[in-house]
Each structure stands twice: as structure tokens, then as C-alpha cells.
Amino acid sequence: MAMESESAPRWFLFAGRNFSNRYKNCSDWRRFGPNTMADDREVLRELWDGRLPIKFNLAADEVASMEHPEPCYLLVPRQSYFPLVADKVQRYFLKYTANSQGEEMWLEYEGQPLKWHYPIGVLFDLHASSTMLPWSLVVHFQKFPEDELLHCPGKDAVESHFMSSVKEADTLKHRGQVINGMQKKDHKQLWMGLQNDKFDQFWAINRRLMEHGEENCFKHLPFRLYQADKPCIQRLFRPITEEGEQRLLGDLVREVAPQVFNTEVEDTSGSWKVVIQGVEPPMETPVQWLSEHFSYPDNFLHICLVNSR
């Protein structure tokens, strides 16, 4: 695949719309030409529309009814959060469990409790990127793992968490000037756009958070890097060098997770994949571009380091 030669070469490759085949392995690409406004916006739309088919099963030891419930299937947005999409699942399974009072539902994948405050796409990329679809999850109502999971008292908690991520991201990008300069109704519109899956409503406000004004980049890059069984990593990282050159994904990974490139040491754990939004962007991709186009609605670039063994 030839590189488009420009002063700042830009690749943007992402899995196509037909997720059911293409998300099976993250290396399925469709390449667009040199970036134009239309192409860039199409990237945003493609990512927004990304869906994951999920199969929910009630934990076998929590079934209190004579009849074992059938699994529940849902197509969920990668950009959303489980508490926003799993009401039906909760209502459906609750009646098969022992008559408990207001116990909080939690989800598990192969023994791993799933953190509701991570976007769904991040959870899949981090824990299950090589699994066959539909993604099979276990639903629990008992023995809430308090040492690992935050409680989710309701949708207000999701909104609060989401908005606090948006604010933190803007603090990193613009010293908080853009988000603090908005009215409460704008903040609400961001949240409602996400909750109701309204791309235009969301991006009407979000595009202001993606502007970089007089400088040609953000002050710092809002990103979080995840590895299974480790706390997530967040550091200050400037998108351009002091000489004004674009910093690339490879630069970021080298700085924050050098083991990915450490081929000198005999690494028995296998090689690593760097996955963002379900795909592996080339290491030559400028991080500024990734931040503007591959961030989740909370304005963070969520990067998953996945062992490819």
C-alpha cells in the first residue's frame, strides 16, 4: 500500500461498515484518499455508527426459576456505556433470579468484571478483541465485586462520569477554556446526543471541543492507555515537538509503553497490538489527527494494548 506523499503524510484506515465480518480480525481495512473535510467527517460517522452484537446470559448459579432463561441479544453502540443500553437486559433477567431488592446488575466476561464507566468499544478491544462475535457476556445480580467495580446508582452517575471526562479532556487540550465557555445547555446537548445516538446533535457541540484555534494542535493529548490486569496509564503528552513537528502514535507508545517495541529482550508474552476504536492505526499516524477523529465521545483517545498471542 503506497503512502500518499504529503508534507505530513496522513493515513486513516478503519474497518468498514460491515462490522460483523470486519471486526472479527482488526486488520481489515478500507483506505481513503488524502484527507479532506468530507473524508474526515466520514471517519467520525463510521466510528459513531460502530456496533457490537452482544449475547447476554444470566449466571447459571443465580437462576432461581424452574426455567433457565434464553440468552438476550442486543446490538450496542461501541461509543456508549453499558448502563445506557442494558435496561432491557436487566428487566428481562431479573425475573429469573431470587427475589432480591434493588441489587445492581454487573457484567462479566470470562471471569473479568466489566467496568461500566469504560466505553463499550474499549471493553471489547481490551478484553475480547480476538473473540468470535457475538460477544458473550454473563449477567450477575449477586456478589457485586466492590474491590474492582464502581457502583452505578443510575444514569445520572453515567452522565456525571462522562461530563467529568469531557471536562478533563478539555483541560488538557485548551486549559478548560472551551468547556467552561459553554453554557449548561451545551453540556446537556453533548450528553443527550450520546444518550440518544444523535450524531449531528452531539457533533454540533463537540466540534468546538475539537478545534485547535491559533495553535495547530492541542496543548496536551487526552489519552488513556489500557492493558489487561493493570491500572490504566494517563500522562501529559504534547502532540507536537518543540520544533513544531507532528508527534506520531509510535512516539506516544514508545514513551508510555516501551515494551511494545522492546524487541531486544526475549519477550515470552508475545507481541503487542495497539488497538484504538477496534482497529490498529499505523504507528506513523499523527496523534493530533487521532485525537480529533478517533477519540470516543468523552474526548479521550482510549488506546488498548492487546497481547496478540
Partner 1 sequence: MAAGTLTWCRFKDEASQLLRHSERIKDGWEWTEVEVDQAGGSFLVKKDVVRPTSERVCVKHCVPLEDREDEDDTDVLDVEDSMEEADINTVQCEVKETQYYRYQYHVLYSTSYCVPVLYFIASRPDGSQASLDEVWSSVPASFQSRLQDDRWTFLTQQEHPVLGCPMFQLHPCHTATMMQPLMQETQDKEMGRCSYLVSWLSTVGPVVGLNLPLSYAQVGHVT
Alpha carbon 59 to its chain centroid, in Å, reads 26
Cβ atoms 139, 59 nearer than 8 A: yes
276's enclosing H/E stretch is: strand 272-276
What sign has the CA pseudo-torsion 28, 34, 38, 40? positive
CB of 160 to partner 1, least distance (A): 4
Q: Are strands 30-31 and 112-113 parallel, antiparallel or unpaired?
A: unpaired
Q: Which set of grid coordinates corresponds to residue 275?
A: 488497538
Question: Of 54-62, 172-180, 189-197, 238-246, which segment contacts partner 1 by CB under 8 A?
Answer: 172-180
35 binds partner 1 (CB under 8 A): no
156 binds partner 1 (CB under 8 A): yes
Q: Which set of grid coordinates corresponds to residue 47?
A: 466510528
From CA 134, how far away is CA 128, in angstroms rounded? 11
CB of 236 to partner 1, least distance (A): 5
* String of contacts with partner 1 for each residue 199-238, x by CB under 8 A: -------------------------------xxx-xxx--
CB of 232 to partner 1, least distance (A): 7
Question: Of 63-71, 163-171, 191-199, 259-267, which segment contacts partner 1 by CB under 8 A?
Answer: 163-171
185 binds partner 1 (CB under 8 A): no
Least Cα distance to 83 among 181, 151, 2, 142 occurs for: 151
258 binds partner 1 (CB under 8 A): no
Positions touching partner 1 (CB under 8 A) are 115, 117, 146-151, 153, 156-157, 159-161, 163-164, 167-168, 171-172, 175-176, 230-232, 234-236
